[in-house]
Amino acid sequence: MTSLPMLPAILMDMAGSVVIIVLSFLSLRYAWLLIRKQPENFLWGFLFYFCLTLVCFSVSRAVGHLLKQILLILGNKEQWQVLAPFSGGFNTLLMVSLAAVSVYYHKGIEGYHAIQRKASSLKNANCKLEISANKLQQLNADLEKMVEIRTQKLSASEKKFRNFFTNSKDMVYFCDSSNRLVNMNSAGLEMLGYPMEEDQKLTLHNIFCNEEDLENYLETIVAVGFVEDLEVEFLRADRTVIYVLLSATAVFDKNRVFTGCEGIAKDLTRVRTMMEQLASSEKMASVGQMAAGVAHEINTPLGVILGYSQLMMDDFTPESEEGQSLVVIERQAKACRKIVADLLKFSRQAESARENILVNEVLTDVLAVTEHSLNMDHINVHRDFSKDEPTIIGDTEKLRQVFVNFINNAHHAMEEQGGGDLFISSHYEKESNRVVTTIRDTGHGIPEDVVAKIFDPFFTTKSVGKGTGLGLSVSYGIIQEHGGIIEVESPARGKDGKMQGTAFHVKLPAISVEQVSVNENKSDTK
């Protein structure tokens, strides 16, 4: 080989120049697409400017080379010699620019990384902030929900206790340290007979009947912190007394200073009355049994005494001393037999008839006999009989004896004060299906300490010889036998509201419609 053809170099130079231009533009296109996609990315910005400079360089160089080859091919060497410095100068300039751009890469990347780190840190902080915000929001939502639930529970609880306070049938009260009743439920006010007003200005001193009970209550509650099942008497607005079972708890503040108390009181008046009645009934029952036993034992020897005394009376003339003595023996023996008979009536050992009776008729019969003597002693009789009174089943004679006893007692009570008024009334009490007969006088009344004993056998306030003390006992026994009850009210409240005298309420069970029809059939059959 003696020479090398330059044609391949020329052709490669021309073709290569074109290829370089194409490739550089294609690179620039992708760089452009990259910065379009992520304009904030420094790397794509760098690559774009790098490619742009490369495009300029490749165009400058390739165009220069192509021009050179074309001009030389065409034989215009002089023209190329003119242009060559410019082409070389541009190429130099662009190479320096490319170098300059490249040099900035590292620092740019450092800056980019610094920004990235900051951005990442900021992003992390934002994420944490977002998580915290979410947690806070969740907590807030939970808190709101919790508050709502608590409020509902509180409301339900408040409602529950408010209902308990309002609807309780017992007295519920709250009082402050000066014993002023700051709150009392309607049952309490009703129990005490005060109107339902918010501001009653009541104190414990107003409602405690006995000062000693109040002192005991206050001492205990402050010392122990509570009182339990304390039986005390409360004074009602109308000055009547009720018996209550009181339980209360003291309220202390943070410093253990007594700030008041809250308590519940149950009205035991009715229970107490019932207990007393029960005790009385038991007592009367046991007394009745004893009386019946005694009566039976006495009755036989009494009959023998009476029989023998009557036999002996045949042997002696009535004018003789023996005859006179036998008359006395017979009279006293008969008196004893009457007492025994009364005792048997009281103990319900005597036989009774069972017939339909109208109480008004019995009362009318009794008044027909007794009214005259009542009037003689300036006692006015006032009748108030209901017209549509139902019948009862009982023994007319025994009931007559009962009413006579009551009227006689009233007579004696008013006789001492020179007269008065006797009110006799009867009415039908539909609720209890009883016929209620009331005999009320305007006498001196029965002393409180005596009331509990009036039905005891042989108890009397009359002087010796004026009464056996069996009248009310017998009446009690008869009414018990009829399934009824006797209530005593002394002093008794009159129609005018005046408290005076004594009232006996005899409540006898009325005959039902079925019983009436059965009895009518029986009488028809007879």
Partner 1 sequence: MKNTRKMFPFLLLLTFVVCPGNAWAVQSHAAPEGLYVHQLAHIFYAASMCYLFWGVRQTAFKSRGWRFLQIFCVFMVMWNVVAFTGHSLVHYIHHSDFIREAGYLSTHLQGPLTGVKFWYYFTQLDHLFSIPSFFFLYLAMKNLYRSSCEDVKI
Contacts with partner 1: how many residues (CB under 8 A)? 54
Residues 4-43 that bind partner 1 (CB under 8 A): 4-10, 12-13, 15-17, 19-20, 23-24, 26-27, 29-31, 33-34, 37-38
Nearer to partner 1, 51 or 291 (CB): 51
- Look up residue 303 and give its two tokens: 């009959």
3-state SS, 22-62, equals HHHHHHHHHHHHHHHHCCCCHHHHHHHHHHHHHHHHHHHHH
Minimum separation from the CB atom of position 117 to partner 1 (A): 13
Q: Which stretch binds partner 1 (CB under 8 A): 51-59, 186-194, 210-218, 506-514?
A: 51-59
Minimum separation from the CB atom of position 5 to partner 1 (A): 5
Q: Can you list the alpha helix ranges (DSSP code H) found in 201-268?
A: 204-207, 211-224
- Look up residue 338 and give its two tokens: 């009457």
Name the CA radius of gyration of the chain, rounded: 61
Q: Can you list the alpha helix ranges (DSSP code H) found in 168-268?
A: 186-192, 204-207, 211-224
Q: Which helix (H) or strand (E) holds 406?
A: helix 396-415
Nearer to partner 1, 6 or 513 (CB): 6
- Look up residue 127 and give its two tokens: 């994420």
Q: Which of 72, 82, 114, 122 binds partner 1 (CB under 8 A)?
A: 72
- Look up residue 502 and give its two tokens: 């004594």
Q: Does 44 bind partner 1 (CB under 8 A)?
A: yes
Separation between Cα atoms, residue 94 and residue 391, nearest integer Å: 140
Minimum separation from the CB atom of position 46 to partner 1 (A): 10
Q: Does 78 bind partner 1 (CB under 8 A)?
A: no
Taken as a whole, the chain contains a residue count of 526
Minimum separation from the CB atom of position 68 to partner 1 (A): 10
Separation between Cα atoms, residue 271 and residue 277, nearest integer Å: 10
Q: Does 303 bind partner 1 (CB under 8 A)?
A: no
Q: Which of 39, 40, 75, 465 binds partner 1 (CB under 8 A)?
A: 75
Residues 321-360 that bind partner 1 (CB under 8 A): none
Nearer to partner 1, 100 or 290 (CB): 100
Minimum separation from the CB atom of position 125 to partner 1 (A): 23
Minimum separation from the CB atom of position 148 to partner 1 (A): 43
Q: Does 51 bind partner 1 (CB under 8 A)?
A: yes
Residues 199-258 that bind partner 1 (CB under 8 A): none
End-to-end CA distance of the chain: 175
Cα 368 to its chain centre, rounded Å, is: 57
Q: Specify whether the CB–CB gap between 23 and 31 falls below 8 A.
A: no
Minimum separation from the CB atom of position 100 to partner 1 (A): 7
Which amino acid is located at 292 in the chain? A
- C-alpha dihedral sign at 126, 131, 137, 143: negative
Give me the DSSP letters along 221-270: HHHHSEEEEEEEEEE-TTS-EEEEEEEEEEEE-TT--EEEEEEEEEE-HH
Separation between Cα atoms, residue 382 and residue 315, nearest integer Å: 54
- C-alpha dihedral sign at 308, 309, 311, 316: positive
Minimum separation from the CB atom of position 93 to partner 1 (A): 8
Nearer to partner 1, 75 or 195 (CB): 75
Minimum separation from the CB atom of position 69 to partner 1 (A): 8
Nearer to partner 1, 9 or 311 (CB): 9
- Look up residue 306 and give its two tokens: 């009476």
Q: Specify whether the CB–CB gap between 288 and 477 falls below 8 A.
A: yes
Q: Which stretch binds partner 1 (CB under 8 A): 84-92, 159-167, 342-350, 400-408?
A: 84-92
Upper half-sphere CA count for residue 446 (Cβ side, 13 Å): 22
Q: Does 54 bind partner 1 (CB under 8 A)?
A: yes
Nearer to partner 1, 47 or 292 (CB): 47
Q: Which of 59, 73, 248, 306 binds partner 1 (CB under 8 A)?
A: 73
Per-residue binding string, partner 1, 85-114, x by CB under 8 A, is x--xx-xxx-xx-xxxxxx-xx--x---x-
Cβ neighbors of 4 (< 8 A, separation 6 or more) are none
- Residues near partner 1 (CB under 8 A) are 1-10, 12-13, 15-17, 19-20, 23-24, 26-27, 29-31, 33-34, 37-38, 44, 47, 51, 54, 58, 72-73, 75, 85, 88-89, 91-93, 95-96, 98-103, 105-106, 109, 113
